[in-house]
Amino acid sequence: MDLSKIVEKINQRPNMATKMGMVFHSTPEPDTCGASMRVDESSRQPMGYLSGGASLALAETLAGAGSAALCPDKVCVGIQVSGSHVRAVPDGDTVNALARIVHQGSTLHVWNVDLTDGCGRLISTAHVTNYILPSSTESSQQP
């Protein structure tokens, strides 16, 4: 999935993704997309490990970027995210995320996102649901 246009939008102004150092990656498969994030002061909890909330933020943001790439003329918003964390990731390591869309409806997208550490070991798995809305231009044209 090509994320290049979405990455341009993300980088237009400061936001959570840029603040946390999320880097988005296009993939050759049409139903997947990827991202990475270094574990540092913006993503670690006080004990020096990746925060579970940062993991879920990466998963939800990546799934949102994927939905936006699939529906470039729509507004895609997360309405549900849940995850299970199975391994700690220390400060200084990099987390990699691979999202795969499992349902692509006209108003709902469902994604499974696997997060791995720098050694490729599973650290979290997340489930994200995005709601697909008409753009403000689209909705203003409806009677």
Active-site positions read 60
| Sequence-separated (6 or more) residues with CB below 8 Å from residue 15 | none
Helix, strand, coil percent values for the chain (each to nearest 5): 25, 40, 35
**Residue-by-residue DSSP string for 28-43:** SSTTEEEEEEE-STTT
42 exposure class (CB count in 10 Å sphere: 0-12, 13-18, 19+): middle
Q: Is 60 helix (H, G, I), strand (E, B) or coil?
A: helix
Q: H helices within 1-143, ranges in order?
A: 4-10, 16-19, 52-70, 136-141
CA dist., res. 7 & res. 14, Å (int):
12
